Amino acid sequence: MRFFTEYIRKQFPALSVKVNEYPAAYFDGPGGTQVPQRVIDAMVDCLAYSNANAGGKFLTSQRSDQVVKGAREALADFLGACSEEIAFGQNMTTLTYQLALALARNPGYRNEIIITEIDHEANRGPWLALEERGFTIREVKMEPETCTIDMKDYQDKLSDKTLVAAFNYASNCVGTISDVKEMIRLAHQAGAITVVDAVHYALHGPIDVRDLDVDYLLCSAYKFFGPHIGVFYGKKERFAELPAYRLRTQKSAVPHCIETGTHNHEGIAGAAEAVEFIADLGKYFGNLEEGSRALSVPEWSERRRRVVAGMEMMELHEKPLADKLLDGLSNIDQVRVYGPPSGHARTSTIAFTVDGITPDQVAAKLGEKGVFVWSGHFYAIRPVERLGLDQSGGLVRVGICPYNTAVEIDRLLEQIRTIVASS
């Protein structure tokens, strides 16, 4: 594991940043990870040598078309999809608005939409906006004690009137991983379309859209070492029928129908390189031997196998660090951790409060020592409200990434003990 960490860390220029002589420890990954040099290079290269609009009859335009085509293939390997099912957009939020508006276009008997209390606003606001078009939005409860979806409530809310069930794969606030495969199965049983927000989960485990059988799944490359660009997956047979709003000059076929305006080519180049970065982790460190999960689907491409193996390596790296942090926090009396119970599926994102000190104050004090964490609601304002923390400044959130180390966790815990002692 030491070689894995060294291999990763030397690729991130941002790790050389210092604050008051303290090396920066980036625990802000759920807000956006740092970017390896090779991703930066791919973006610069795109701007330098492939900078033209799409569809031209000359070299640089042909190159930029190749960049986009290659990136669809890379992101398809990332998600277990095929390349015509991958579209790019400004970010997950904007793509979700586009999707919601498109799905609401032909209202019929199915006029209910399911959202959840555990979700980020990006997977709530676009659906809530459909209320003004006559849709009824039904909100599934989160159990505050366990920070998990109330599955009975979910089943009760699904009906033959449900058009869409929208929920996250994992919570960017408290790290809970939901049983999305079962949620998708139940939604399909009721005849509903499923939309999964995989923005937080995408860094924390391999995604397999075929195995999930999800209809639409969205993520954002800046959460997995890429630039700020949204990634959209649409199951071909569903996506082909999506009445997306588009210009008459725009291609109507998938995946172009949802891609309004000119692409962010350099962002797309960076997203593809982020996938290559993860695939290389699988190639150099992952288990690609018999019995490995990376070989479980014979049709997978070599890159897809490496991606799965790379994701597994990242999980292997992060799990002991998350356990160490949870253990350390549980030994500080003034700290209260919020999240799923031990043994429940979770990401390495950990949220807590400190008695008598606001999350912003904790984050600011840590920031002075070069320890970067987020504080507040992280746009996951609904779960923060449900936890009763919206009036007290929300939570402190620590996200663990493959470039984090046990030494950094020790620094973080030591600083929290100092903050508590001096309060």
Ligand X SMILES: Cc1ncc(COP(=O)(O)O)c(C=O)c1O
The minimum distance between CB 66 and ligand X, in angstroms, equals 25
Angle, helix 302-330 to helix 265-285, in steps of 10 degrees: 80
CB of 202 to ligand X, least distance (A): 9
Rounded to an integer, what is the distance from CA 273 to the centroid of its chain?
17
Amino acid at 117: E
Output 86 or 199, the one with its CB closest to ligand X. Answer: 199
- Of the candidates 166, 188, 118, 164, the residue with the CA atom closest to the CA atom of residue 346: 118
Q: Does 122 bind ligand X (CB under 6 A)?
A: yes
Distance in Å, CB of 21 to ligand X, minimum = 31
Closest distance to ligand X from the beta carbon of 94 (Å): 7
Options 200, 204, 265, 369; binder of ligand X; rule CB under 6 A: 200
In the 8-state DSSP scheme, what is residue 246?
Answer: -
Interface pattern 145-184 for ligand X (x via CB under 6 A): -----------------------x---x------------
- Residue 256's contacts (CB-CB under 8 Å, 6 or more residues apart) are 87, 250
Nearer to ligand X, 123 or 415 (CB): 123
Of 85, 112, 197, 276, the residue at the interface with ligand X (CB under 6 A) is: 197
* Per-position b or e across 276-292, b if 16+ CB within 10 A of its CB: bbbbbbbbebbbeeeee
Specify the residue, 300 or 379, whose C-beta has the smaller distance to ligand X. Answer: 379
Residue closer to ligand X by CB (options 154, 169) is: 169
Least distance CB 9 / ligand X (angstroms): 24
Q: Per the structure block, which two tokens stand in for 342?
A: 């031990």
Report d(CA 369, CA 418) in Å as an integer: 11
Please report whether residue 120 would count as binding ligand X according to CB under 6 A.
yes
In this structure, what DSSP letter does residue 385 have?
A: H
Count of residues that bind ligand X according to CB under 6 A: 14
Cα–Cα distance for residue pair 130/267, rounded to 1 Å: 30
Closest approach of Cβ 125 to ligand X, in Å?
Answer: 10
Residue carrying structure tokens 């040099």: 37
Per CB under 6 A, contacts with ligand X among 43-102 are 91-93
Burial code (b: 16+ CB inside 10 Å, e: under 16) for 198-224 equals bbbbbbbbbbbbeebebbbbbbbbbbb
CB 94 within 8 A of CB 118: no
Of 174, 78, 165, nearest to 120 by C-alpha is: 174
Whose Cβ is closer to ligand X: residue 50's or residue 171's?
171
**Considering only 18-26, 116-124, 246-254, 295-303, which stretch makes contact with ligand X by CB under 6 A?**
116-124
Counting contacts by CB under 6 A, is residue 138 touching ligand X? no
From candidates 29, 36, 80, 230, binder to ligand X by CB under 6 A: 230
Nearer to ligand X, 122 or 180 (CB): 122
Q: Which parts of 151-215 are beta strand (E)?
A: 162-168, 193-197
**Window 360-399: contact mask with ligand X (x via CB under 6 A):** -------------------x--------------------
349 binds ligand X (CB under 6 A): no
Task: Please tell me whether residue 220 binds ligand X under the rule CB under 6 A.
Answer: yes
Alpha-carbon gap, residue 50 to 161, rounded angstroms: 48
Of residues 259 through 278, those in contact with ligand X by CB under 6 A are none
Interface ranges with ligand X (CB under 6 A): 91-93, 120, 122-123, 168, 172, 197, 199-200, 220, 230, 379
